[in-house]
Amino acid sequence: MAGSAVAETIKPLFSTETIARRVEALACDIAAAKLDNLIIVAVLKGSFIFAADMIRALHRQGLHPEIDFMFLASYGSGTVGGEVKVLRDVETALAGRDVVIVDDILDSGRTLVFAKELLAARGAHSVKTCILLDKQVPRRVTVTPDFIGFECPVEFVVGYGMDLDNRYRELPYIGVLEG
């Protein structure tokens, strides 16, 4: 927090250039999937920078995806699976559409499975998932992302949209919080 006596340091994990190259490769993979009437659904807040870079990369691949957003929150204690709630829902009709959910980090899997099931139930033709970071932890639910940016160590990461108490989202790289 501002004025905090404890100073944190951030050790870079994925550089700006490395992220940019991986986003371009993911866009190529998504384009190769030949999705029709594509809509990107970004899960807020953490994925907003990744989603923005992704839709620009998809444009460079000749795609013209629509974009919408959902804001999900998971409630419960740290060790007990909590309930996922929709704080802001998509506004676009999804029936017959190919949807790609874009999220920043996959850990327990509960939020991603919830989002995927919710959007599929609305009649989407297909619902794919694109995750920037796949944290190497045991999942609480079974989920396999369709598109993965990077495997992530079991570390607390910030930057490129990800935060600690709404700080560090602005960093152009992803780093491990130390200290």
| Length of the chain counted residue by residue | 179
CA 117 to chain centre: 16
Q: Which long-range contacts (CB under 8 A, 24 or more apart) does 118-124 make?
A: 118/86, 119/41, 119/90, 119/94, 122/93, 122/94, 122/95, 123/94, 123/95, 123/96, 124/94, 124/95, 124/96, 124/97, 124/98, 124/99
- Annotation says 89 is catalytic: no
C-beta neighbour count of 125 within 10 angstroms: 14
Q: Which entry of 29, 68, 107, 134 is annotated as an active-site residue?
A: 107
Active-site residue set: 107
